Structure 1
Amino acid sequence: MKVGIDARMLGYSGIGRYTENLIREILQIDKKNQYVAFTQKGRGRFMNYDLGFKKFINPKSKISNLKIVEVDAPIYSFKEQYNFLKTVVKEKLDVMHFTHFNRPIFYNRPSIITIHDLTPIYFPGKKRSSFVEQFAYRLVLKSALKKANRIIAVSNFTKKDILKNFSFLDEGKIAVIYEGIARFAEDPKQFVNHKSKFLNLKPYLLYVGVWREHKNLLGLIRAYEKLKQNSNSIQYWRKCRENEFKKIASLKLEDLKNLKLVIVGKPDPYYPEVPEAAEKSPFKKDIILTGYVSDEELFLLYQNAAAFVFPSFYEGFGLPPLEAMSYGVPVVSSNAASLPEILGDAALYFDSKNTEEMADKIAQALFDGDLRKILVEKGKKQVLKYSWQKMAQETLKVYNKITKKI
């Protein structure tokens, strides 16, 4: 069997991490079939890990059952409807896995698409908000859903969301395959001696992710300000848990004035509201926008966080809070979309539209020692449900089922 995988988004956001881990893990478990990874032109060195050897995979890779093909077809461009189509057809694949919705409309061979979420339907954003761009998104997505032999949804929530918006689909066509957590979380010792400019930030709240409207970063900044401004929000915890604070909590009440908010993610020029809100905040010196960070720096930021906050209005899965749990960090999350499904009872939830509630839940996670301990213990158990290897195994089963039906 010859399988193609769309790897053009490697290095970009969660879809890139999903694709990277899919390729790495499936090559570990499957030595029989042949794989072709299609990368964007000039991005042949695309993976942070080469099957554990910590080298970049490139077009000259010696992995016997992997071929890498570079193509000039940027994501969401017209070129992917022609250049990418022509390149994929040329490989004469038994099955092609498009790891995002953007499957070329005129591709007529067996294929699979992964749908991570339907964010553009609910939050079009500024970059592609015009009528024409929204029409194109709907056209490509609808075509992909119709023509794909199988659809992979990364959560039950996403599966239900697809069926709600595209009622013509047969529910049996959609397979739910959960994602895993980042590989570097499995081997923390490799980063112990890494030096970082972020080591002296403690204590801090942490957010990791892109700067988009649905991520609710403005709400997070407002909740942080309320937490710092309104000491009454933690009076209950001062009264009830004073003894436990000293034993368990990583943050003492008197240190609240030093609490920082660290927002990790590549700056997005389409969302200047985030740096503007940070600059206008009365606590602007304590709001840190890190920009892009390396895996080593991200490991240290996770490991030393007092709590992780995920305030999203909408998520198809949600990798960052799981990564935080894997480091023993208590997670405070919105109760929106897929998050309760993915995080289970291992997170402290709030209404994403209620900044008062967000601030209060953050205070609980910081200062209630018993609760912190429970969240950390439950978090470590919750992450065991998610494995990139398991994801790759289940995806390989989908490949095999499709080729057997042809």
Structure 2
Amino acid sequence: MRVFVEGTPLFRQRTGVGQYTKNLLEALFRLDEENTYTIFSFALPGQKTKPRPIPETPRLGYRFIRYMHQKVFNAVVRKVTAPPIDVMLGSRPDLFLFPNFVRYPLPLGSRAVAIIYDLSFVLHPEHVARRNRQFLTRYVPITIERCQHIVTISENSKKEIVEYYGADPDKISIVSPAIDHSFFYPRPAAEIDAVTGKYNITKPYILYAGTLEPRKNIRSILDSYAKLPPEVRASYSLVLAGGKGWLDQDIKRRLDELQHMDIITTGYVPDEDLPALYSGASVFVYPSLYEGYGMPPLEAMACATPVIVANNSSLPEVVGDAGLLVDAHDVDSLAQYLEKVLGDPALAGELRRRGLERAKTSNWDESARRLLAVINEFGSQR
């Protein structure tokens, strides 16, 4: 079969969707020896060829739409309607894979599978930018209706799609994110020292990794750190590792109020620094208000770091019995859990052991096999 894959998430600064797409596709292309793939995106006429995020092979090529800029396409989609992507490409492959929530029109008759990660835009609209919320609210239900199959990333997300949109559960498969164990593993002290030195981290630390935005509940992390006994705060820095996100004004205000405390904001952290940052942390904290899956806790567990996560959405699925679960809105409990892990080496050691064991069960090859089964089943039906 010929499979066309929307590549837009691959060419941006990769966070959640982009990382998932890249890792999953790399594993898929290693695994699949039958089908051929074309990754498509946009480029200006005469624009220098974009770097290929995944190297080309005899079974993998790229195609760029050069007569319409990505920004123009996005504006047309938002303000008018979604243009027919197969007509723009001049192709009718067996299957389109749309890995970023939305299926675009395919009047030439190709079948389609789309990946819908979560329903944060309808269940927690206050944490989603208005323009993105309007876009997803408009196009996701059409995507569910017109795709031959939907992929999502957790049991929780599947349940929400079924309940909110009345989707047939048999039309939805789960392909969870996974860990690259050649990358996320406990790093040696020398590497940890090099990376922590880069970010001016000079003593043991509590770590959060991810975008600094309201949905990640950064305010509760800051408030729980402020509630720790002074002698604990004197021994541990709080490190917020991630770029600024949407609606971060309240986070900035709280950071200003706590500027007398040892709180380090690193800004965006490149991928290569993350394993050492995880490995060096005394505890990883992730009390997010909602997650379609939540990769950072899994990455931290793979690096043998104790984790504390919120007890909502998909996060209990991710950590199982390998992490501590807390009410995201209960700052006092979060502070107590932090103090307990930091003050109890036996508990921290047990969480490290359980986390490593649980992380080992996660791998991209298994996720790719599940996606390939979907591709083979729904791409071959005519």
Aligned to 1:263: 240
CA distances 1:88-147 after superposition (whole Å, capped 9, x unpaired): 6523211111112122245652111111111111232476337xx644422200000101
Kept in 1: contact 2:237–2:263 (CA 8 A):
yes
Kept in 1: contact 2:5–2:37 (CA 8 A):
yes
What secondary structure is seen at the aligned counterpart in 1 of 2:62? Answer: strand
Question: Residue type of the partner of 1:226?
Answer: K
After TM superposition, give the deviation of residue 381 of structure 1 in Å. 1.1
Equivalent residues in 2 for 1:201-216 (5 A)?
A: 201-216=202-217
What secondary structure is seen at the aligned counterpart in 2 of 1:207? Answer: strand
After TM superposition, give the deviation of residue 170 of structure 1 in Å. 1.1
Can you give the 5+ residue segments of structure 1 that lack an aligned partner in the other structure? Answer: 51-56, 230-253
Q: Does 1:166 align with 2:165?
A: yes
CA distances 1:132-172 after superposition (whole Å, capped 9, x unpaired): x64442220000010111111101000001111101x2110
Kept in 1: contact 2:291–2:313 (CA 8 A):
yes
Q: Distance in 1 between matches of 2:183 and 2:42?
A: 25
Q: Distance in 1 between matches of 2:291 and 2:134?
A: 22
Can you give the 5+ residue segments of structure 2 that lack an aligned partner in the other structure? Answer: none
Question: Residue type of the partner of 1:181?
Answer: I
Q: Distance in 1 between matches of 2:205 and 2:122?
A: 34
Q: Distance in 1 between matches of 2:4 and 2:185?
A: 28
Q: Distance in 2 between matches of 1:188 and 1:75?
A: 44
Q: Does 1:8 align with 2:8?
A: yes
Aligned to 1:291: 267
Aligned to 1:347: 323
Q: Distance in 2 between matches of 1:266 and 1:85?
A: 32
What secondary structure is seen at the aligned counterpart in 1 of 2:176? Answer: coil
Q: Distance in 1 between matches of 2:121 and 2:30?
A: 34
Aligned to 1:401: 377
RMSD: 2.6
- TM-score normalized by the length of structure 2: 0.87
CA distances 1:263-284 after superposition (whole Å, capped 9, x unpaired): 1111126423222211211544
Q: Distance in 2 between matches of 1:389 and 1:162?
A: 25
Query: Which of the numbers 173, 176, 183 marks the counterpart of 1:175?
Result: 173
Q: In structure 2, do the counterparts of structure 1 residues 188 and 87 end up closer, same or farther at CA, with 3 Å as the change threshold?
A: farther
Q: Distance in 2 between matches of 1:19 and 1:40?
A: 17
Q: Does 1:67 align with 2:73?
A: no
After TM superposition, give the deviation of residue 84 of structure 1 in Å. 7.2
Aligned to 2:302: 326
Aligned residues: 365
Aligned to 1:137: 136
Question: Residue type of the partner of 1:382?
Answer: R
What secondary structure is seen at the aligned counterpart in 2 of 1:44? Answer: coil
Aligned to 1:372: 348
Kept in 2: contact 1:98–1:112 (CA 8 A):
yes
Kept in 1: contact 2:87–2:106 (CA 8 A):
no
Aligned to 1:276: 253
**Identity over aligned residues, as a percent?**
27
Greater shift in the superposed pair: 191-200 or 313-322 = 191-200
